[in-house]
Amino acid sequence: MILLTGASGFLGKKIVESFSQNKIKVTTVGRKNENDICCDLSKESPLLGNSKYNTVIHAAGKAHSIPKNKEEKKQFFDINVTGTQNLLNSLQNSCLPKNFVFISSVAVYGLVYGDKIIETEQLKAEDPYGTSKICAEKIILDWCRKNYVCCTILRLPLLVSENPPSNLGAMLRAIRKGYYFNIGGGTAKKSMVLVSDVVRFIPLISTTGGIFNLTDGVHPSFNELSMALSPRKKIFNLPLNFALILGLIGDFFGDKSVLNTKKVKKITTSLTFDDSKAREFGWDSQPVLEFIKNKYE
């Protein structure tokens, strides 16, 4: 039996769908009534009873976003940290699982640029999302160590699937509406990974344990992505020097600006992560560009 949190999320839905197709029994925990156990982890511990779960997959969490106020900053810790502790408290008071899988993020590294970053890189995140994920990782590692539970942490970059949310979804919408543009040729590379590959890897790695980056192994550039998403549309390119000038003007308006110095640097510098450790344990991934081309040709 598997206990899954975050079943209503982008990744969680795919986990439920895949496991159900493979006749794997999944008990879901979440705030919506559609879950088997209805519970707001940020406020309470779920009632697990005496059920024995072989594996717990903790995918619940507040997604990466820029908080607008103190309350939104606090939500990251309420959901990602307090929610994790409440889940562990319930497991402690019921039956301990053999395996615990935590869905984390490459945001824990706190880096804006870098090439093939490995799992032993220092965790430098200072933003609410990244620091809350670091705290959750530490809590889980300590709890699993004390209770002899096999612990697996998957640090994921941008997730890709049909109708993707977040930055890739915004990029697709902008292309369709005709106002997307690359900067400096769009040569910056970013790590991404297919949701379906992550879901397939979880059962394989859950009994092994460890901390793993997962990527598609290709790390497409913005130009490659835009061409794959819009094979019949010409993508406008903004010269880097001009973008830098616009960024300086945008600095007066802060993070609300469409373009500022910080955003220009993020868009024009590569940030990739090394997944060779996972590949030693059977990680195999489909290139994101191949998936996108098949979907949007």
SS3 13: helix
Type of residue numbered 218 = V
Q: Percentage of the chain surpassing pLDDT 70?
A: 94
pLDDT beyond 90 at 282: yes
Residue 217 has pLDDT above 90, yes or no: yes
Among 63-72, 190-199, 250-259, the range with the most confident prediction by mean pLDDT is 190-199
Cα 21 to Cα 195: distance, rounded to the nearest angstrom: 16
pLDDT confidence bin for 68, thresholds 50/70/90: low
- Has residue 296 got a pLDDT over 70? no
CA 193 to chain centre: 9
What is the reported pLDDT for 191? 96
Report whether 256 contacts 193 (CB < 8 A). Answer: no
In contact, 90 and 45? CB cutoff 8 Å: yes
Average pLDDT in the chain: 89
Instruction: Report pLDDT for 67.
Output: 60
- pLDDT digit string, tens, across residues 117-151: 999 999 999 999 999 999 999 999 999 999 999 99
- What count of other Cβ atoms lies within 10 Å of the Cβ of residue 114? 13
Count CB atoms within 10 A of the CB of residue 32.
10
DSSP strands (E only) in 171-235: 181-183, 192-194, 210-213
pTM, two decimal places:
0.91
* % of residues, the chain, pLDDT over 90: 58
DSSP class of 71: H
CA 199 to CA 197: how far, in whole Å?
5
What separation in angstroms does the CA of 178 have from each of 42, 172, 232, 272? 40, 10, 12, 28
Residue with tokens 């705290």: 135
Q: Element (H or E) spanning 55, and its range? A: strand 55-58
Residue 182, pLDDT > 90, answer: no
| Tens-digit pLDDT profile for residues 144-178 | 999 999 999 999 999 998 876 667 777 777 777 77
The C-alpha R_g of the chain, in whole angstroms, comes to 20
